Amino acid sequence: MDGGEIENNYASKLTLVTEGEWAGWSWYPGGDPFEDLAGPFYFRVGDDGRPLCAFRAELKHMNGGQFMHGGCVMTFADFCLFVIARNAIEGSRCVTATFNGEFVGTARVGDLVECTGEVVKAGRSMVFVRGIISNASAGGEPMMSFSSVLKKTAARP
């Protein structure tokens, strides 16, 4: 397969979940091969009007000590920053240009992991985002704070 075929096979398909634990949440099945493997990750607009992202921790998300793997937390954060910046990047292709994160807590199998954040500034070619990931099952205990810059690379066809 060439890059075009891969892109066509993984075209983003925003889907609203209608049943089960995630009813009312949206996700992108087939949107990103790595996130498909690591997730599923979900999002919706929270009660405060800001994007809220979440997923349920599974065994595949744990490290050898049975705590959530840092790579999983970072992958989720990368998903979240694109959701948080969704309106600011609409119509553009973007890449993560910088990512800074501080690990301050963890999660275990079965925990609900959530993220909220905000666009700090949306420029013509760069969007600055910050967020916090928390363990909702542990009373909202923080797991990671992060900041990132998204670089707009081209208009979306």
Asked if pLDDT for residue 6 goes beyond 70, the answer is no
Across the chain, mean pLDDT equals 90
Per residue in 37-95, pLDDT tens?
A: 899 999 999 888 999 999 999 999 999 999 999 999 999 999 999 999 999 999 899 99
Q: Given CA atoms 1, 6, 93, 99 in this order, what sign does their dihedral have?
A: negative
Q: How confident is the model at residue 2 (pLDDT cuts 50, 70, 90)?
A: very low
**Full DSSP string of 18-30:** -SSTTTT-EE-TT
Asked if pLDDT for residue 107 goes beyond 90, the answer is yes
Mean of pLDDT values over 1-25: 67
Q: Taking the domain 3-155, which CATH number applies?
A: 3.10.129.10
What is the predicted pLDDT for the residue at 156? 66
Distance CA 62, CA 57 (A): 8
Per residue in 144-154, pLDDT tens?
A: 999 999 999 97
Q: How confident is the model at residue 97 (pLDDT cuts 50, 70, 90)?
A: very high
- Give, for 117, the enclosing helix (H) or strand (E): strand 112-122
Q: Which residues contact 66 (CB under 8 A, 6 or more apart)?
A: 108, 109
Do residues 53 and 42 touch, judged by C-beta distance below 8 A?
yes
What is the predicted pLDDT for the residue at 30? 78
- Contacts by 56-60, CB closer than 8 A, 24 or more apart: 56/21, 56/110, 56/111, 56/112, 56/113, 57/107, 57/108, 57/109, 57/110, 57/111, 57/112, 57/113, 58/109, 59/109
